[in-house]
Structure 1
Amino acid sequence: MKYYNSPPDDKHLNLSPKSYFNAKLALKLFIVLFVIGIISVVSFYAGNQTAQAQEPFLQSEDFSSRNFQLFWDTWTKIKQEYIAQDKVSTDKAALEAARGLVKSIDDPYSDLYSPERGKIFEEDLKGSFGGVGMEIGEKKGFITVVAPLSGSPAEKAGMKAGDMILKINGEDATGMTAEVAVTKIRGQVGTKVTLEVMREGWKMPKDIVIVRGKIEIPAVTSEMYSGNVGVIKINTFNPKTIPEFAIGYNKMRNAGATRFVLDLRNNPGGYLDVAVSFAELFVPRGKLVLKEVWGPSKSENKVVSEGPGSLAGLKMVILLNKGSASASEIFAGALHDNLKTKILGEKSYGKGSVQQIFPIGDHLLKLTVGYWYTPGGVRIEGTGLTPDVPLTDKNPDDTIDEVLQRAVDYIKHI
Structure 2
Amino acid sequence: MVMELKERNNHFIFSGCDTVKLAQEYGTPLYVISEDIIQERCKEIREAFLDKYSNTKAAYASKAFLTLAMCKIIDREGLGLDVVSGGELYTAIKAGFPTEKIMFHGNNKSWEELEMAVKNDVGRIIVDNLYELEILGEIAKQHQKKVKVLFRVTPGIQGQTHEYIITGQKDSKFGMPLETQKIYEVVEEVMASEYIELTGFHFHLGSQLFENDIYIGAIHVMIQLAQELKEKLGFILTELNTGGGFGIRYTDHDKPKPLHFFTGAIMETVKEQCDKYHLDMPTVIIEPGRWIVGEAGITLYTMGAIKEIPNIRIYASIDGGLPDNPRPALYRAKYDAIVANKTNEAPSMTATIAGKCCESGDILIWDLKIPKIEAGDTLAVLSTGAYNFSMASNYNKLPKPAVVLVKEGKAEVIVERESYENLLDREIVPEYLKK
Q: Same fold per TM (> 0.5)?
A: no
Decide which structure has greater helix share.
2
TM-score for the superposition, normalised by structure 2: 0.28
Q: TM-score, normalised by structure 1?
A: 0.29
